[in-house]
Amino acid sequence: MPKKNNIILASSSVSRRKIMDATGIKYISLKPLVNEENLKKNFKGTTKKLALMLAEEKALSVSNKHNDCYVIGADQVLSFKGEVYNKPKTMKEAEENFRLFRNKTHYLDSATVISLNNKIIWRNEQSPKMKMRNFSDEFLKNYIKKVGNQVTLSAGGYSIEKQGAQLFSKIDGDFFTIIGLPIIPLLEKLRKLNANGIIK
């Protein structure tokens, strides 16, 4: 069981865990107990508010079982022309999405929160602007073949820290946020909270 003032990442995301691991701080990762599909289905509001609601629900689902722990919740919603795009279920769906986004701009509405004792005590909201380049059909087919099922692991279907960088011509936004966590402001807040004895 987590000890007092431990840091908990309420996520099973490999990308988010890698970001946390790279910082060297001590934390544990627990899967949030939420049904994302139902939450999305019943939500009425903007994509930004949807991302925030999902992040909060994830954090609170873990926080209510672990007192005196700083629980981090995060989520991303890909928004294109006002529509929400979930993680591609198949490589074919990812390829269809890439064709749709090609030479156009979409947004990755992102929210990260910290919960303590079942209350949200910090929020960070960002919406990186993502412009895909006008790549050829040949490039796209080769790209999908190279990355394989990785395209089904994130909202956009791309891993921008890897070969996914080749998909874009311009990005406006924080790199770490795009990967999954706004680690610089998150660490700054955790230091102020003296979470898990992080050195200020």
C-alpha span between 43 and 60 (Å, rounded): 17
Q: Residues near 132 by Cβ (< 8 Å), separated by ≥ 6?
A: 98, 101, 102, 103, 104, 105, 106, 167, 168, 169
Q: Classify strands 129-132 and 28-30 as parallel, antiparallel or unpaired.
A: unpaired
C-alpha span between 60 and 131 (Å, rounded): 33
Contact 60, 118 (CB under 8 A): yes
The C-alpha torsion from 89 through 75 and 167 to 172, rounded to 10°, is: 160
Is 68 one of the catalytic residues?
no
* Active-site hit among 68, 75, 137, 174: 75
> Mind telling me the catalytic residues?
75
